[in-house]
Amino acid sequence: MRAKQGKPDGFLLAAVLFLTVFGMVVLYSMSAYNGRVRFGDSAYYFKKQLFALALGLAAMYGVSCMDYHALLKLSVPAYLVSLALSGAVLLFGDAYNGSRRWLSIGPLSFQPAEYAKPAVILLLAGFVSRMDRKRSGRMIAAVMLMVLPIVGLVGTNNLSTAVIILGIAVLMIFISNPRYLPFLWILLAGSGFLGIFLSLESYRLERLAIWRNPELYEKGFQTLQGLYAIGSGGLFGRGLGNSLQKLGFVPEAQNDMIFSVICEELGLFGALLLMLLFLLLLWRFMVIATHAPDLFGSLIAAGIMGHIAIQVILNIAVVTNTIPNTGITLPFISYGGTSVLFLLSEMGLALSVSRYSRT
Amino acid sequence: MQKTRPFHRRKIVVIFLGCMLALLFLGGRLAQLMIVESEHYATLAEDLHERERSIKAARGRILDRNGTVLADNRTVCTVSVIHSQLEDPERVIEVLAKELELPEETVRKRVEKVSSIERVRQNVDKETGDRIRNYKLAGVKVDEDYRRYYPFGSMASKVLGFTGGDNQGIIGLEVEYEEELSGTPGKILTLTDARGVELADTGESRQEPIPGNDLVISLDYNIQKYAEQAAYQVMEQKQADSVSILIMNPKNGEIYAMTNVPEFDLNDPYTLLPQYLPQEAAGISGTDGVTAETAGAQLPAASGSTLTGEALQDALNRMWRNGCINDTYEPGSTFKIITASAGLEAGVVSLNDGFSCPGFKIVEDRRIRCHKVGGHGAETFVQGIQNSCNPVFIEVGLRLGVDRYFSYFDQFGLNEKTGIDLPGEAATIMHKKENVGQVELATISFGQSFQITPVQLAATVSSIINGGTRVTPHFGVSVHAGDGALVDVYQYDDGKRILSEKTSETMRYLLEQVVDGGSGKNAYIEGYRIGGKTATSETLPRSANKYISSFIGFAPADDPQVLGLCIINNPQGVYYGGTIAAPVIRGMFENILPYLGIEKNG
C-alpha cells in the first residue's frame, strides 16, 4: 500500500529556511570580532559558513527530491563509509584546539563525526524496519552491538558526539519496541554506568565540581562567561550586534556557547522565540514521522527529531549550566560547515519522507 | 518492510512530549537566569567590561600672605604601553629608551610584558611626553598628570610638607589641609574587550576632576627667607646641630615665619641630608656631616643612600620633623616670663620688691645655684629679671606655692596644645602636681625639669604681652577657588583672657628693661622699643655639656606687633642665649620691622 506521492512539508521547509537565515545573521554578529582579531576579516567565519550553507541547501534540495526508499539499500554501505572515515580521522586527521576531528582534502576540511549521525539514523531505520517483529526482544542487544563500533571510534576524540549518536540509537530502539519497562532499566543502567565512568577519572569529577561552582575554578571560565552573557541580556537584550561578552570574553563565541550570546543580544524573549522555533521543528518531525507510510520513513523522521532534540536540549542545558560542560553545538546556529551540510541533508531526508503520506 | 504501527506512533509522540518538557524546563531555567539572577551576572559582567581610569585633580596651590606661590603644580606625563596594541615593539623600545633615558633592558622588560597596560615611566617632563607623543607609536600612551612642585625648593619645608605619588599630603600643611587642597579626582569609564582594548563606538562617560582650592597662609615669603638665612648663618657660625626661628604676630597668632634648619628639598624629600645620618655614622664633630675616615668605616656615602628600610625611614622622619612643633625642650630662663606674670598677677611680688642673691638659694636640703657664681647681691625684682637671676624667681615661685603655680600654668594654656594647624604637635611634659615639692617648684620657676614645645612658648608669651588674651598660633588664613574667588576665611576665636591688661602691660615694661639694660641687650636696636628674654639651658643628660641657647623678643615693646623666637641647639663655644641668640632676633627685627611698616620712633 504505497502512499501517493505529494508535496514536501511546507511548514518544515519554511522553519528550516528561517532558522538558517537567522543562524547566518546571528553567526555574523557573534563571529565578527573573532574574525577581525584573528584573521583581519569580520566576515571570515560568515563566508566559510555561507559556502557550507550553499552546499547544504543544494544537498537538501537533492535529497528531498529523492525517493527515500532508495536509501534503504545504501544504509549499510553508508554506515561502513562512516566507520572508515571515523577510523581515518584517527590516523590522518588534523587537530584544532587539541582534538583530532578534521579530515582535510585540499582547502576543504570535513568532520566525519557529523556524517556519522545521519549514517546511524539511516542504518537503524533500515535495520529495524526490515526486522522480524516477533524477535524484537533480542533486537535491542543487536542494535546496540551495531552502533558500538561507531560510538567507540567517534568517542575516542569526541565524546559529546558519541553520546549524541548513542542517544539517537536508544531513542530509535525505544520507538521500535512496544514495551516501556526495559527502557527504564536501560536508563537506570546508563546512569549507573555514567556514574562509574565519571568517578574513574578524577578530571571528570573535577568537571562536576566546576559545574556546581564555576566561579571557583579556572576551568569554569567558559561556563561563567556564558552565564555573564545570559545574565546581562535581561528581558530584551542589548540588541543585535551589541554583545560585549562576544568580544573575547566568551571564548569562541561563534561555537558551542553561541546561545549565551544570543541571550545577551536578544534577551529572554529572543532566546525563548528561538527555542519555540526549535520546538516547532520537532513538532513537524513528529507529524512527519507519525504520518509516514512505512516504518522506515517513520524511523528516519523520528531519528532526525531525536538528533535535533538531543543537540538543542543538551546545548542549552550546558550553556545555562544546568548540566556539566560538554562541547555540543546548537544546530543551524553554531559555526561549523560539516554540521550545517549534514543537518540540511537530514532536513532534505525529512522533506523527502514528508512527500509520502499514508492517507 | 514493516508498517508503522500505533505503538510506534505513540512512542514518537512520547519522545516529542519528553522533548517539549525538557525545553520548557530549560526555558524556565533561562527565565531564572535572565530575570532573577540577571542583576547579579550583569553586574559581574559590567565589572569585567568597564575600565575605570581616574583623572587626577589638580591640587590647590599654597600661597603666602602676599600671593607668592609656595606650592604649585607642574604638568608631567606618565608613559605606558598597551601590549596588545603594539605594532613595532623594537622601535618602541628604541624610542622609549632614548627619550626616557632608561636602560634598553628595563624598557624591553616593560614593553614585552604581556599585560593590558604597563607603566614605563612616571613623572616625565611635559616636553619629553610631547616628543614621545609626536612619534605616534601604536600602543604607546602618554597621559598628562600633575605633580607637586615647590618653586623655592627647601623653603619652609617642614611647614609646607610635601606630597606622595598620588599627590596626597605626607607631612606639614599638605596633610593638615588635605581636604581643601586635594580636590576630587575625575573618572573616565570606558568599555573594553577581553584584550583591554577600548571600544571606540561605545563612547566613554567622563567625570571631570574638580581641582583643589588654593590655600593662603600667613607665612611671608620675605620674612621666611630672611629667617632661614639668619638661621643657617648662626648654625654655621656656632656649629650648632640645628636652629629654629619662629616669627609671629602676637596679637592674632598668625605665623610669619617658621624655620628649622637644616631644611630639606621639598622637590626631593627622600634624599637624606648628611646631618641626619645616624649618629654612629655622622662622626664625632656631628656638624660637618660625615668625615671621610669615619664614613669609610661604616657607611660609604653621605647621601644616606646606603641606609635601608627602617634605618632610612627613621632618618627621614628625623629630617622631616618640625622642631618648633614636634619636639619639646626645657625652655630655661625664657620661662621666667611665665613665673613673673603669675607672681605679678597673684600679687606676691611687685616691681620694687627687694631680693638678695648670694649666688645660690637653699631650698629644703638643696642648694640651687644661680648662673652667676658670685651672686647678684641686693636687687629689685626689675633687676632680678634683667639679670635673669635664678634665686629671685625661685623666691617668686615659692611665694606662689605649688597650687597657685599650677593653676596659673593651667590658666596660661600650658597644659593644652596650642592648636596650631600643623600635624603632630607635641604635648607639654610636666610633673604631676602631687609629685611636686619645693625643690621641683623651684626648678620649674626658672624653666627647668619640664618640657614644652617652642611654639607653645611663643604662643604663651604672645598671649602674656598682647594684653592678656590667649592666641592660637596658625598658618591658614583663607581658601580660594582656582579662579581666585574666596571660598572660606578661617576664624580663630579670640582666646580667653589669661592675664589682666595691667599685668600684661607690666610684663611688656619688664621685658623691655631686659633688652634695655639687662641680659637681652644684644637684641637692642636704636630707635625701636624691644622687649625680650634670654635663655640658656643644658640638655639632658647634664653630663653631656650640651646647651640650648634661645631668645624670645617682641617689638614695639609698648604695642607688640611681631614676636620672634630663636632656638640654637648645641652651639659650640660661647653658648649664652644673650650672646648668640639675641643678636639673631635683633638681625631679624632690623629687617622685618621696616618691612612690616613699623616706624622708628625719634
Query: Which CATH number characterizes residue B140's domain?
Result: 3.90.1310.10
Closest Cα in chain B to A278: B23
B254: Cβ contacts below 8 Å, ≥ 6 apart: B65, B218, B248, B474, B475, B477
Helix (H) or strand (E) run with residue B186 in it: strand B186-191
- pTM, 2 dp: 0.62
Closest Cα in chain A to B29: A320
Confirm if A245 and A33 have CB atoms less than 8 A apart: no
Clarify whether residues B290 and B405 are in a common domain.
no
Closest CA to B357 of B396, B397, B322, B384: B384
pLDDT for residue A98 is more than 90 = no
Closest Cα in chain B to A170: B15
B362: Cβ contacts below 8 Å, ≥ 6 apart: B368
Closest Cα in chain A to B49: A244
Cell 522533548 -> residue: B19
**List of chain B residues with pLDDT < 70:** 1, 53, 115-116, 195-205, 278-307, 602
Closest CA to B445 of B459, B425, B431, B458: B431
What is the separation, in whole angstroms, between the first and last Cα of chain B?
140
Q: Could you give the 3-state DSSP secondary structure of residue B554?
A: strand
Instruction: State the pLDDT confidence band at A202, using cuts at 50, 70 and 90.
Output: low
Q: Do B19 and A358 touch (CB under 8 A)?
A: no
Q: Do B26 and A227 touch (CB under 8 A)?
A: no
Clarify whether residues B287 and B384 are in a common domain.
no
Identify the residue among B7, B8, B85 best suited for mutation to test binding to A, counting A beta carbons within 10 A and taking the highest.
B8
| Among B176, B192, B217, residue at a domain's last position | B217
Confirm if A54 and A337 have CB atoms less than 8 A apart: no
What is the domain count for chain B? 3
Q: Do B33 and A227 touch (CB under 8 A)?
A: yes
ipTM: 0.91
What is the separation, in whole angstroms, between the first and last Cα of chain A?
10
The Cα angle at residue B540 between residues B536 and B543, in degrees rounded to 5: 95
Q: Is B37 on the interface with A (CB under 8 A)?
A: yes
Of B12, B30, B35, which is closest to A290 when you measure between CB atoms? B12
Q: State the Cα torsion A52-A56-A59-A61 to the nearest 10°.
A: -140
Cell 506512533 -> residue: B9
Clarify whether residues B211 and B309 are in a common domain.
no
- Grid coordinates of B373: 657664681
- The mean pLDDT of A257-274, rounded to a whole number, is 92
Q: Do A297 and B31 touch (CB under 8 A)?
A: no
Closest CA to B123 of B75, B167, B61, B169: B75
CA distance A279 to chain B (A): 7
Q: Is A296 on the interface with B (CB under 8 A)?
A: yes
Clarify whether residues B298 and B410 are in a common domain.
no
pLDDT for residue A222 is more than 90 = no
pLDDT value of residue B139: 81
Q: Do A313 and B20 touch (CB under 8 A)?
A: no
B413: Cβ contacts below 8 Å, ≥ 6 apart: B459, B460, B463, B470, B495, B498
pLDDT for residue A329 is more than 80 = yes
Q: Is B36 on the interface with A (CB under 8 A)?
A: no
Q: Could you give the 3-state DSSP secondary structure of residue A237?
A: coil
A 94-153: CB under 8 A from B: 128-131, 133
Identify the residue among A67, A140, A168, A175 best suited for mutation to test binding to B, counting B beta carbons within 10 A and taking the highest.
A175
Helices (H), B75-125: 89-100, 104-112
- The mean pLDDT of A179-193, rounded to a whole number, is 82
Q: Is residue B17 one of the residues assigned to a domain?
A: no
Clarify whether residues B301 and B434 are in a common domain.
no
Clarify whether residues B124 and B200 are in a common domain.
yes
pLDDT value of residue B345: 92
- Grid coordinates of A259: 546561545
A 163-192: CB under 8 A from B: 171, 174-176, 178
- Grid coordinates of B59: 591640587
Q: Is residue B311 one of the residues assigned to a domain?
A: yes
Q: Is A233 on the interface with B (CB under 8 A)?
A: yes
Closest CA to B149 of B58, B274, B261, B66: B58
In the annotation, is B333 catalytic? yes
pLDDT for residue A136 is more than 70 = no
CA distance B3 to chain A (A): 4
- Grid coordinates of B388: 635673669
R_g of chain A computed on alpha carbons: 20
pLDDT for residue A304 is more than 50 = yes
Cell 643678636 -> residue: B583
Q: Is A329 on the interface with B (CB under 8 A)?
A: no
pLDDT value of residue A92: 81
CB contact burial B178-214 (16+ within 10 A = b; e otherwise): bebbbbeebeeebbbbbeebeeeeeeeeeeebebbbb
Of B35, B45, B193, which is closest to A232 when you measure between CB atoms? B45
CA distance A252 to chain B (A): 12
Catalytic residue among B333, B341, B388, B550: B333
pLDDT value of residue A242: 81
pLDDT value of residue B287: 38
Q: Do B13 and A358 touch (CB under 8 A)?
A: no
Of A175, A283, A294, which is closest to B1 when you measure between CB atoms? A294
Clarify whether residues B64 and B124 are in a common domain.
yes
Confirm if A90 and A156 have CB atoms less than 8 A apart: yes
Q: Do A296 and B1 touch (CB under 8 A)?
A: yes
CA distances from A292 to A286, A297, A313 (A): 10, 5, 25
A115: Cβ contacts below 8 Å, ≥ 6 apart: A81, A82, A85, A338, A342
Closest Cα in chain A to B35: A234
Closest CA to B171 of B424, B418, B417: B424
Clarify whether residues B300 and B406 are in a common domain.
no
Q: Is residue B569 one of the residues assigned to a domain?
A: yes
Residues of B in contact with A357 (CB under 8 A): none
| Among B149, B182, B217, residue at a domain's last position | B217
pLDDT value of residue B298: 37
- Grid coordinates of B592: 622685618
Q: Is B35 on the interface with A (CB under 8 A)?
A: yes
CA distance A320 to chain B (A): 7
Q: Do B11 and A228 touch (CB under 8 A)?
A: no
3-state helix, strand and coil shares in percent for chain A, rounded to the nearest 5: 75, 5, 25
Extract the runs of DSSP E, i.e. beta strands, from B393-475. none
Q: Do A234 and B27 touch (CB under 8 A)?
A: no
Closest Cα in chain A to B201: A242
Cell 622687649 -> residue: B531
| Tens-digit pLDDT profile for residues A16-60 | 999 999 999 999 988 888 888 888 888 899 999 999 999 999 999
Q: Do B2 and A292 touch (CB under 8 A)?
A: no
Q: Is residue B388 one of the residues assigned to a domain?
A: yes
Q: In whole angstroms, give the CA distance from residue B314 to residue B308.
A: 10
Of B16, B38, B40, which is closest to A305 when you measure between CB atoms? B16
Three-state DSSP string of B187-253: EEEEEECCCCCECHHHCCEEECCECCCEEEECCCHHHHHHHHHHHHHHHHHCCCCEEEEEEECCCCC
Q: Is A44 on the interface with B (CB under 8 A)?
A: no
Clarify whether residues B422 and B571 are in a common domain.
yes
Q: Could you give the 3-state DSSP secondary structure of residue B324?
A: helix
Q: In whole angstroms, give the CA distance from residue B117 to residue B110.
A: 10
pLDDT value of residue B201: 59
Clarify whether residues B182 and B69 are in a common domain.
yes
Clarify whether residues B427 and B560 are in a common domain.
yes
Which residues are registered as beta bridge partners of B565? B246, B552
Clarify whether residues B282 and B363 are in a common domain.
no
Residues of A in contact with B191 (CB under 8 A): 244
CA distance A169 to chain B (A): 13
Q: Do A248 and B195 touch (CB under 8 A)?
A: yes
Domain that holds residue B68: 53-217
Q: Do A231 and B44 touch (CB under 8 A)?
A: yes
Residues of A in contact with B40 (CB under 8 A): 231
Check residue B469 and report its DSSP letter.
B
Residues of B in contact with A173 (CB under 8 A): none
Q: In whole angstroms, give the CA distance from residue B556 to residue B593.
A: 9
